[in-house]
Amino acid sequence: MIRKAKPADAEEVAQLIIQAMGNLANKFSNTDDTIATLSLFKYFFSQTDNQYSYENTLVYEENSQILGSINAYDRGKLLELRKNFLDHLAHHNGLTNFNPENETQSGEFYLDTISVNPNAQGKGIGKQLIDAGINWAKELGHNKVGLLVEIDNEKALKLYQTKGFEIQKEKKFIGGLYYHMIYK
């Protein structure tokens, strides 16, 4: 079942966000300490008014266990949602001159992180989460949905293409190279 996330989901969803981000999560926490990185994302997930908040997250739950999550928001709110996050990173993580590129474009509903627990992969949960994200965008009046996928992540690229996303361009983001994909 897919449902809106709740603050109490922080432990499980923070791990899924980190899994989706890969090395980017450690760049945000400014450490290789997995506990510190997990703590950072648990904190922001349980807060309001930021891009990683439970407010911007749907979860896939089965038998009282969260097996997947999707984090998404209106691109028009990116700078507002990112401000609290970047302010915290500057004050608590030593990232005083950290100003990441905008990973999304104007007019998009942006799918920031999509992740499925490794023990539940291959069961169609990711596809259901993507569909839920697209429907969420439509409910909010968006007709364009965007996401980034690492260029060398062929499995995810194929999944997004089967769901109707098309590559728009290559994009650099915090030192990595990604495809910016759009669903219309």
Q: What is the pLDDT of residues 58-81, one digit of tens each?
A: 999 999 999 999 999 999 898 899
What's the token pair of residue 128?
């259901």
Task: Provide the domain count of the chain.
Answer: 1
Residue 16 domain boundaries: 2-183
How many C-alpha atoms does 151 have within 13 Å on its Cβ side?
10
Q: Are 132 and 108 in contact (CB under 8 A)?
A: no
- Kindly report the three-state secondary structure assignment for every residue of 20-78: HHCHHHHHHHCCCCHHHHHHHHHHHHHCCCCCCCHHHEEEEEECCEEEEEEEEEEHHHH
Per-residue pLDDT, averaged over 27-50, amounts to 94
How many C-alpha atoms does 134 have within 13 Å on its Cβ side?
13
pLDDT computed for residue 105 by the predictor:
81
* Percent above pLDDT 70 for the chain: 100
Which CATH number fits the domain that encloses residue 154?
A: 3.40.630.30
